[in-house]
Structure 1
């Protein structure tokens, strides 16, 4: 394999204008936005549907959690298939299966089917969510092969896009469900997934070339075989607990304060802080290594989470949430930048998907844990979950930070019994 190009290249143009002038970038960015918007609509759409048809919040949350866990566990496998066989080959069947599973879930819920059947439909609905965010990041790596200075800007742009979808998606799902009926939110989710997914898949010219099947007698390793990828996935799991716990805790805190309608505004301030930080982060030509930035950003995240539980009212909680949000996007951007250096070209989509899946799994864990604490001890205790989750993630990142060294170049040397890949030099230290 050829020597790897540097990823943390502080030279050259790094602005968003230069990024968006990348030839044919808009041909995949616009359909990707359509396909990614439903990502944040599925869970809420399931909750609204199941709550309306069964009257149980507990069942609604459990069914939504089933979809989230299935997505977190199966998503990386679809990412691996995309690396091997091409993005379109995976996307087209995935969106069709997703639409069918969502349709089955709606029919079962309205048909008064047994509760267990809802879980059977929710699992494939979550498992078949197209991993468009990871595929877009893989396309940027492919398109910017000769312009590595723009990669940090590209990952910043994608993280801001993620934040945008998580702000707009739930609002869209709730608005459609309220204006029409609870099923309409999920119908809109499935329609956008199919439309955006097929349009994105059609843009084959901007996709990385598939790696193809492994050579005979040689097993193609998963991206998760990299200790650094596993460490980052653990860190992103902690990050996911922040998202999940804050959604539940802010809602409960606002309701306890007698102003339940303000919960969306408070969470929106948190998300806005992340979006602003992500935009600014992408404008800076960083000279420090991605590993150093990852530890610093994650430490700031833990610091931001440490004050949430002590806030006495919604105003102070909004301010604390804003400062906490400022660390979110920089942590996400740096994590995706790092993971790109830890795996070979044929495993990048899978690696990105492991991080995205870890966030989804952490979100399910965080919301469940916070809900239990709130039921027993009140809203404020729910805010200890983000602190614990992010704190554990920081401990892991600091104590095992050497695992985040970039992948060393490899050369092929001839040994008895065949060709053997060996490191060409020491891993790049950061």
Structure 2
């Protein structure tokens, strides 16, 4: 008879409550929540600022994509450095560099600097973006090593990630459209410095640097050596294309309709659907394996993105955006669940940064491609980006799905409760 790590009858609430009573948890959760918001604010903040100063969605999307590419490429390296030298040692100088790079980018954009200068400033701005989410996950792993609450912490972090993608872009959009085009990026820099330094100061809860570094050496170096991680990177790139395509397309559609203020509302509906689905997924005691759930969830995401480009009425677009948001969380949460099954503990922080970086890269490239489509074919054409991005990712997922089966998965599998909780082998 299959058993579970946490009794489903206890409900998600009691599991979360017990988790949040873990000694010292709030010392890194609160600054961590503050510091992880900039991850979801960066590309949309750059997009809205540069579009305002240049008048071109193509230019804005390209600069935003440059930052996203830099973030995706450098995030795993930052994860390795944090594993090796400690999170505080990497974060403290990193947030200062990031704030300086953002300040430079804002100054250049507002002074009508040449495009090459904006590209140059976007590289350090993206590369220095702190990867707080993976660092928080690593702290939970260090505190709860061997505890049944590890599964609960995984669910909690996935819901928190979803909430970040609700709050961050909506906040950046509201600041850019309601106060000043540069206000979103300025707030991003402030949150990075304040939240990042507060988080870095909590050294008592950070994982021991020597332990994870030794784990990396023992397992041979990089999370990319795990085939399933490479497949999940493409899956998360597709998810990122939804965020990027929705951001640039909603901005263009509402501007063309003469109601730019509705951009924040429509994106908020989309993001609220994402958050709602994340909470629901976190309340379900799953009995199916995560790879099966991903293969079921991703086609649904492709299906919901299909009619976006044809929806010209703003209320209809809001309703469809809600459905897309509801479809993202199951795929995103299940992908992170698979990482915990596929990747050895010693390189798990790096693996998380590859996936979060893939979302950022997909978001930036999606915004860039959407911008080109919008400038050339009208505001609604940008909605083709989420459809194309998720369709290509689904093709790769189905073709290479066997890479997502953990080694030694021949034993019986039992669901472990909350949505992001892993199925646990029962001998």
TM-score, normalisation: structure 2:
0.85
Residue 406 of structure 1: aligned partner: 406
Greater gyration radius: 1
Deviation at 1:215, TM superposition (A): 9.4
Structure 1 pair 255–47 and aligned structure 2 pair: CA distance change class (3 A): closer
- Please report how far the alpha carbon of residue 160 of structure 1 lies from its aligned counterpart in structure 2 after TM superposition: 3.1
DSSP 3-state at the match of 1:286: coil
Q: Please list every run of 5 or more consecutive structure 2 residues that lacks an aligned counterpart in the other structure.
A: 410-423
Name the CA shift for 1:144/1:299 in 2 (closer, same or farther; >3 Å): farther
Match of 2:192 in 1: 193
C-alpha contact (below 8 Å) 1:156/1:329 kept by paired residues: no
Q: 21-30 or 185-194, which moves further after superposition?
A: 185-194
**TM-score for both structures, normalised by structure 1:** 0.84
**Rounded Cα–Cα distance in structure 2 between residues aligned with 1:325 and 1:284:** 18
Matches within 5 A, 1:292-331: 292-331=292-331
Change (3 A) 1:216 1:110: closer
Structure 1 window deviating more from structure 2 (352-361 vs 195-204): it is 195-204
d(CA) in 2 for partners of 1:365, 1:379: 17
Deviations 1:269-304 (A, max 9, x none): 111111111111111121211111111121221222
Aligned-residue offset at 1:149: 5.6
Comparing 253-262 and 392-401, the one that deviates more: 253-262
Equivalent residues of 1:8, 1:289 under 8 A apart = no
Offset at residue 26 of structure 1 (A): 1.1
More moved, 251-260 vs 310-319: 251-260
Cα 1:88–1:232 shift into 2, 3 Å: same
1:82 corresponds to which residue? 82
Q: Which moved more, 1:106-115 or 1:61-70?
A: 106-115
Tell me if the contact between 1:83 and 1:348 (Cα under 8 Å) persists in the aligned partners.
no
Question: Distance between the aligned counterparts of 2:278 and 2:184, measured in 1?
Answer: 29
Q: Distance in 1 between matches of 2:374 and 2:149?
A: 45
CA distance in 2, matches of 1:59, 1:221: 38
Structure 1 unaligned spans of 5+: 1-5, 410-426
- 1:344–1:179 Cα change, 3 Å: same
Higher mean C-alpha deviation, range 60-69 or range 251-260:
251-260
**Residue 143 of structure 1 pairs with residue 143 of structure 2:** yes
> What is the root-mean-square deviation of aligned Cα atoms in Å?
3.0
The answer to whether the Cα contact below 8 Å between 2:61 and 2:371 also exists between their aligned partners in 1 is: no
SS at match of 1:130: coil
Partner of 1:227: 227
> Is residue 155 of structure 2 the alignment partner of residue 160 of structure 1?
no
- Return the alpha-carbon distance in structure 2 between the equivalents of residues 216 and 299 of structure 1: 35
Residue 145 of structure 1: SS of its match in structure 2? coil
CA displacement at 1:49 relative to structure 2: 4.5
Are the aligned partners of 1:84 and 1:346 in contact in 2 as well (CA < 8 Å)?
Answer: no
Number of equivalenced pairs:
406
Distance 1:314 1:392 in 2: 27
Greater per-residue helix proportion = 2
- For residues 137 and 197 of structure 2, the distance between their equivalents in structure 1, rounded to whole angstroms, comes to 18
Looking at structure 2, the residues matched to 8 and 383 of structure 1 have their Cα atoms a distance apart, in angstroms, of: 41
Of the structure 1 ranges 73-82 and 141-150, higher mean CA displacement relative to structure 2 is found in 141-150
What residue number does 2:417 align with? none
C-alpha spacing 1:52/1:384, structure 2 compared with 1 (3 Å):
closer
Q: CA deviation at 1:25?
A: 1.5
Matches within 5 A, 1:29-428: 29-51=29-51, 58-109=58-109, 113-148=113-148, 151=151, 153-176=152-175, 181-210=180-209, 211=211, 213=213, 220-408=220-408
